Amino acid sequence: MRKLLLLILMVTLYLTIASMITAVNLSLRIVSYNMHGIMQGLAVVEDLIVYDNKPDVFLLQEHWLTPANLVKFDNYFPGYVSFGCSAISNCVQSDTLRGAPFWWCNHLN
């Protein structure tokens, strides 16, 4: 249910921004990327920043960070404002993590 709500929010945000940009003839570069873990996807995001003319917004999925480690996005990408979520906050507090049956997302603007 959370994943569906987040998807609806992302689409609504995208459509709202797209309509605002169309109205004033500006361009907005949005990149969506499945990181498969922060350490695996980090190099790709860094390359996109350097070689793809620094996109305005990143929609990053599957970073696999716990809530306490979401600050790593601020450390790795200081030129962006980061906000995101981790679906494992309750599990981290109550049990040992096993496998990856959760979803994670983050946005850099």
How much is the average pLDDT of 19-36? 77
Cα–Cα dist 62/82, whole Å: 15
Residue 43 has pLDDT above 90, yes or no: yes
Would residue 88 count as lying in a domain? yes
Would residue 20 count as lying in a domain? no
Q: Are 58 and 41 in contact (CB under 8 A)?
A: no
Choose between 92 and 30: higher pLDDT: 30
Q: Are 62 and 104 in contact (CB under 8 A)?
A: yes
Would residue 10 count as lying in a domain? no
- Counting the structural domains of the chain, the total is 1
Q: What is the pLDDT of residue 23?
A: 62
Q: Are 27 and 1 in contact (CB under 8 A)?
A: no
What is the model's pTM?
Answer: 0.64
Would residue 97 count as lying in a domain? yes
Cα–Cα dist 105/83, whole Å: 9
Would residue 23 count as lying in a domain? no
Q: Are 102 and 62 in contact (CB under 8 A)?
A: no
